A and B are shown apart, each in its own frame.
Chain A
Amino acid sequence: MSAKQGHEHGKYKYGMVINLDRCTGCGTCTVACAAENNLSVIKDESDKERTISWMQMYKVTNGKPFPDTEVCYFPRPCMHCHNHTPCVSVCPPTATKIDYNNGIVSQIYTRCIGCRYCQAACPYHARYFNWWDGHFPKGTERYLSPEVSVRMRGVVEKCSFCHHRLMRAKTQAYAEGRRELEDGEYITACTEACPAEAIAFGDLNDPESKVSQLIKSPYAFRLLERLGTEPKVYYLSSKDWVRRLADNYHPNEFKPL
């Protein structure tokens, strides 16, 4: 397989940790993300293959019948893969890039030609194509964020780790004569909105940051880790069956904790 060694340079490496034991599946993160990032809606939102949801909520169960049924919710933003980012390497007009100074995988909407090769290459389904012209029901256009550009029909979009918030935090820091951001100074909209405080966000390169502390947990894992994409989104779950669902395992290969 061609998962080549990734770049490790760059001062910051922003990442996310989602505690699934705390997540109630309320969907606030999804809504906050949509509002913050000017996500368009389509006429038939039940057409789940073509809706746009940067923070997709997956519901999983342990597969056991009642009364042993257990449910867990997997909020899934873009994984911002750090190693040989699958979508970045395939994009023909260089419309998606990874910034190794902060680890964020971004999308340049005005350069995207809509070939959708990135969607084919992403195993997480984190990329969304605009099948229709951007649509904002009457009244909602007044709530559009001026910091995020709306997308045109025919281009791909995805979670940007609220990149504009990084810009905002940097501007604030510079205005205060600082060149460094404090832990927690730049967080995503979903992190801020989660009522259960299940989402943490910060610099994975900073050993003192909250996220760096959290990923030391034996319960920490990432989605499809064995593919070698090096996602920067981590999950925490004390439940073996949940961790088992995060990757493909051969029989008897998964080691319960």
Chain B
Amino acid sequence: MDSALFPEGVKRCSPKVFLLWSLPWLALLAWGGLSAFLCLWKGLNQTNMSNIFAFALWIVFDLAVIALGAGAFFTGFLTYVIGRKELKSIINAAVIIGFICYSGAVAMLGIDIGQPIRGWFIFWHANVHSMLTEVSFCITCYLMVLAIEYIPIVLENRQLDKVREFHLFGHNLHHVMGVFAATGTFLSFFHQGSLGGMFGVMYARPFAARWDFYVWPTTFFLFVFSAIAAGPCFTILCTKLTEALSRKKLVPDDAIQFLAKLSAWLLSGYLVLKIIDTLVWAGTIVPDSGLGFMDFYKEGPYGVWMVVAEIGIFGIIPAVILMIPRARQNQGWLITACLMNCTGIVLNRFVFIILSLAIPVMPFDRFWSYLPTWQEWGIALAMMGYGFLLFSASYRYLPVFPREKELNPALYG
């Protein structure tokens, strides 16, 4: 029925199967739509956020998907600026994943602020000292860059490509993609960093506070580093999931292995810096605040196990697996390591957001707990539904994986 829209000469499932596959994601979107309506209509009282947990599930999701979406800018940088040719087979997928992550995050932020209609005040009355201003500027600009990077992929659709103007426009965009990749890299560096800086500058919250390096707290650099370490792994995971579901090989091993190896080195470098940062923080900022390291890990369920899990289990172990060539060449180990790496970065963002707010600073203050409402889950999970839908539709109708036919000779003869 819709086969005329498929990329030239490839096979896709029937519309019925595609619709069945889309149903759960559409259901998530409907749940999210209802939640968003309630939050916009009735207000943020629909959530379990509070004056203590000013940031909660949505910000954790936002920061997590933005970090995982870093594969887009980093792969773009490696492909177009550094000139790694083998990554051309995965760059489209990386760009789409990035676009999904960033557009979803911006949509969630639009609901998360109490006065969404005033969102533009950040740009109009910009406080240049605020890390969140830097985040807002860079994310908005980078989302535009991602849209520009996504457009040529959309225009490569078999039917759209027949329109001469679209064909020429898309073709010309391809030629200048290096400029956008470089712009995206610049913007991403600053917003990934500023997201970390947001917490490091909160000097009156000793758990989050970090000392400055030039004008940025160390969390600025740690967030950039961790994002480029985990982003490529998330791109690998999405590609592998698509391969598993479509039962096709879509990306050659050299591209996957290159990204995995790069992740291993970046993750290792990040972990060294993270451990140094944690030790110096524990030896300076913590005692200066009159507290001890363990004072931060005695509230509710947030024990020292979180440090062990974040740095050890979901940091060092995936770094070691990805570092060993034989291990990362093994499909099972590769996926396990990528999953662990991504879990580690999500945990890192969770710790910086939730723990920073949950741990009381005043000695007579009490510990508060927080559990999201169904509306909060609805909006967060709708982002996932949106991601699955857009990526599935892109795979079905666009040449996301340009070497699909070549890599599946048995299927395409």
- Chain A binding site: helix, strand, loop or mixed by DSSP? loop
Contact indicator B364/A245 (Cβ below 8 Å): yes
Q: Which residues of A contact B288 (CB under 8 A)?
A: 1, 226
Contact indicator A114/B290 (Cβ below 8 Å): no
Q: Is A184 an interface residue (CB 8 A)?
A: no
Residue of B nearest to A43 (CB): B45
- The segment from B197-205, B227-235, B236-244, B399-407 found at the interface with A is B197-205
- The segment from B315-323, B335-343, B354-362 found at the interface with A is B354-362
Known: A89-B129, A248-B291, A250-B287. A121 touches B51 (CB 8 A): no
- The segment from A25-33, A128-136, A137-145, A205-213 found at the interface with B is A128-136
Contact indicator B362/A123 (Cβ below 8 Å): yes
Known: A49-B50, A228-B203, A248-B363. A131 touches B44 (CB 8 A): yes
Q: Which residues of A contact B114 (CB under 8 A)?
A: 112-116, 129-130, 153-156
Contact indicator B290/A253 (Cβ below 8 Å): yes
Q: Is B186 an interface residue (CB 8 A)?
A: no
Bound CA–CA A89/B226 (angstroms): 26
Contact indicator A115/B113 (Cβ below 8 Å): yes
Contact indicator A224/B51 (Cβ below 8 Å): no
Q: Is A95 an interface residue (CB 8 A)?
A: yes
Identify which of B51, B217, B364 gathers the most chain A CB atoms within 10 Å of its CB: B51
Q: Which residues of B contact A115 (CB under 8 A)?
A: 112-114, 132
Known: A114-B114, A125-B52, A226-B289. A94 touches B126 (CB 8 A): yes
- Contact string against A for B residues 9-49, beta-carbon threshold 8 Å, 1 for contact and 0 otherwise: 00000000000000000000000000000000001110001
Q: Which residues of A contact B129 (CB under 8 A)?
A: 89-90
Q: Is A220 an interface residue (CB 8 A)?
A: no
If A89-B127, A124-B362, A248-B290 are given as contacts, then 16 extra A-B residue pairs at C-beta distance below 8 Å, sorted by A number, are: A49-B52, A90-B131, A90-B202, A92-B133, A93-B124, A93-B125, A94-B126, A111-B121, A112-B118, A113-B122, A131-B43, A132-B45, A224-B362, A227-B206, A248-B363, A250-B292
Contact indicator A123/B364 (Cβ below 8 Å): no
Known: A50-B50, A90-B132, A111-B121. A154 touches B203 (CB 8 A): no
Q: Is A58 an interface residue (CB 8 A)?
A: yes
Bound CA–CA A116/B364 (angstroms): 23
Q: Is B188 an interface residue (CB 8 A)?
A: no
What are 14 residue pairs bridging A and B, where the CB atoms are less than 8 Å apart in the complex?
A: A2-B201, A49-B53, A74-B364, A94-B126, A113-B118, A117-B54, A119-B51, A119-B54, A120-B357, A122-B204, A125-B362, A129-B114, A154-B114, A248-B363
- Chain B binding site: helix, strand, loop or mixed by DSSP? loop
Contact indicator B115/A1 (Cβ below 8 Å): no
Contact indicator A2/B217 (Cβ below 8 Å): yes
Bound CA–CA A132/B43 (angstroms): 6
Q: Is B119 an interface residue (CB 8 A)?
A: yes
Residue of A nearest to B215 (CB): A2
Contact indicator A227/B203 (Cβ below 8 Å): yes
Q: Which residues of A contact B361 (CB under 8 A)?
A: 123-124, 224, 227, 248
Q: Is B253 an interface residue (CB 8 A)?
A: no
Q: Which residues of A contact B119 (CB under 8 A)?
A: 113
Residue of B nearest to A249 (CB): B290
Q: Is B55 an interface residue (CB 8 A)?
A: yes
Known: A93-B126, A94-B126, A154-B115. A223 touches B209 (CB 8 A): no
Contact indicator B217/A229 (Cβ below 8 Å): no
Q: Is A127 an interface residue (CB 8 A)?
A: yes
Contact indicator B115/A86 (Cβ below 8 Å): no
Bound CA–CA A23/B133 (angstroms): 42
Contact indicator B136/A114 (Cβ below 8 Å): no
CB-CB nearest 9 A-B residue pairs: A114-B114, A154-B114, A248-B290, A49-B50, A116-B54, A123-B361, A119-B54, A93-B121, A94-B127
Known: A1-B209, A121-B202. A155 touches B115 (CB 8 A): yes
Contact indicator B289/A90 (Cβ below 8 Å): no
- Contact string against B for A residues 86-122, beta-carbon threshold 8 Å, 1 for contact and 0 otherwise: 1001111111000000000000000111111101111
Q: How far is the CB of B186 from chain A (nearest CB, A)?
A: 21
Contact indicator A123/B121 (Cβ below 8 Å): no
Contact indicator A49/B368 (Cβ below 8 Å): yes
Contact indicator B115/A92 (Cβ below 8 Å): no
Residue of B nearest to A247 (CB): B290
**Interface hits, A35-51 → B, CB 8 Å:** 49-50
Bound CA–CA A154/B285 (angstroms): 34
Known: A92-B126, A120-B205, A228-B203. A131 touches B45 (CB 8 A): yes
Contact indicator A127/B51 (Cβ below 8 Å): yes
Bound CA–CA A123/B291 (angstroms): 14
Contact indicator B44/A154 (Cβ below 8 Å): yes
Q: Is B130 an interface residue (CB 8 A)?
A: yes
Known: A131-B45, A224-B204, A250-B292. A245 touches B363 (CB 8 A): yes
Residue of B nearest to A1 (CB): B203
Q: Is A3 an interface residue (CB 8 A)?
A: yes
Q: Is B212 an interface residue (CB 8 A)?
A: yes
- Contact string against B for A residues 214-257, beta-carbon threshold 8 Å, 1 for contact and 0 otherwise: 00000000011011110000000000000011111110010000
Q: How far is the CB of B120 from chain A (nearest CB, A)?
A: 9
Q: How far is the CB of B203 from chain A (nearest CB, A)?
A: 5
Q: Is A163 an interface residue (CB 8 A)?
A: no
Bound CA–CA A226/B291 (angstroms): 11
Q: Is A150 an interface residue (CB 8 A)?
A: no
- Contact string against B for A residues 141-169, beta-carbon threshold 8 Å, 1 for contact and 0 otherwise: 00000000000111110000000000000
Contact indicator A154/B43 (Cβ below 8 Å): yes
Bound CA–CA A227/B224 (angstroms): 27
Q: How far is the CB of A183 from chain B (nearest CB, A)?
A: 30
**Interface hits, B105-145 → A, CB 8 Å:** 112-115, 118-119, 121-122, 124-127, 129-133, 136
Residue of A nearest to B199 (CB): A120
Bound CA–CA A91/B285 (angstroms): 23
Residue of A nearest to B44 (CB): A131
Q: Which residues of B contact A170 (CB under 8 A)?
A: none
